[in-house]
Amino acid sequence: MFNHTTVLLKEAVDMLDIKPDGIYVDATTGGGGHSALILSKLTTGHLYCFDQDDYAFIRAKEKLDAVGKNYTFIQANFVELKEKLAAYGVSHIDGILYDLGVSSFQLDMQERGFSYRLDAPLDMRMNQHQELSAYTIVNQYSVEDIAQILYRYGEEPFARPIAKRIEEIRKDKPIETTLELVEAIKSALPAKVLKKKGHPAKQTFQALRIAVNDELRVFEDSLSIALGLLKSDGRAVVITFHSLEDRICKTIFREKSTIYVPKGVPILIKDEAPFELITRKPMLPNEEEIASNNRSHSAKMRVLRKK
């Protein structure tokens, strides 16, 4: 059994402002921490739990069954939110929660290939039934495509040298495991970079994971869909762990909560934005949470309410 510590647990559920008879969605169920707390606050309401990971279903079911039965687990990517909910007759919801990134148990399960500290086959698929894996990208994509992925999704300044080194190595033999990839990355970096604090493969692994799972596109699409499903006074709560995810969330939330007025045009604004920003600045974990769970240190939470 692998442990998973839920980040911003109470804060996120409090921000959902749960109505006991409401309809809620946990778009990223994972280990079920947020879901269990949401479920505990429902009486006649219902919770729909999305996750595409096989293991998440097993983990979450154990936790949720101990709390209540008024939930439905939907094994699907959250970009399918609208059609999957429609199959249950649900067209509007009172709130939705996104807790993005990789779950602790995914990192800790060696065979999943997410971690640069554990030796495993290159994988990184959150949906274990999809074809594309990190192995495919590393061994079949062009140098240009790999470099673009590392720079765009990992903000890796040495994206091209790493991509070139990967190409050189795979000419002789495929790069098959996580630690083989780590060694390739290290061999492409200057000594002064290797001496810096932090693991030299972190940004590359992050970029590959995002690319394998198409995380940024599906999040942007899903969040836009979710906001269209919210009832009046419904809320969307988003926890991000990456600057690009946070930028997407911040941009969408700002657009939905702002009426655009062209500069210098003297007009009387009669309409108001359909949404209200609950958090002007992102909420962050407190020092105590960061001390007890280091993986929470990069978390940012933003909240939007439908008027």
Domain at 138, CATH number: 1.10.150.170
Encode pLDDT of 261-299 as tens digits. Answer: 666 666 656 678 999 999 999 999 999 999 998 889 999
Whether residues 131 and 202 fall in one domain: yes
Same domain, 127 and 184: yes
Single-letter amino acid, residue 110:
Q
In a domain, 108, yes or no: no
Higher-confidence position of 24 and 110: 24
**Same domain, residue pair 120 and 192:** yes
Average pLDDT of the chain, as a whole number? 93
In terms of domains, do 221 and 293 share one?
Answer: yes
Same structural domain, 124 and 207: yes
Find out whether 32 and 10 touch, Cβ atoms under 8 Å.
Answer: no
Query: In the predicted model, what is the mean pLDDT of residues 235-252?
Result: 97
The helix/strand count (H/E) of the chain reads as 14, 7
Q: Which domain holds residue 168?
A: 115-213
The whole-angstrom separation of Cα 198 and Cα 173 is 28
The answer as to whether 1 is a domain residue is no
Q: Based on the fold, state whether residues 16 and 69 are members of the same structural domain.
A: yes
Q: Does some domain include residue 37? A: yes
- 171 and 238 in a common domain: no
Which of 213, 237, 254 corresponds to the end of one domain? 213
Number of domains in the chain: 2
Of all residues in the chain, the percent with pLDDT exceeding 70 is 94
The pLDDT score that the predictor gives to residue 266 is 64
Q: How far apart are CA 2 and CA 256, in angstroms?
A: 39
User: Which whole number is the average pLDDT over 63-92?
Assistant: 97
pLDDT digits (tens, 9 = 90+) for 175-208: 999 999 999 999 999 999 999 989 999 999 999 9
pLDDT in tens, 153-173: 999 999 999 999 999 999 999
Q: pTM for this structure?
A: 0.91
Q: Are 120 and 208 in the same domain?
A: yes
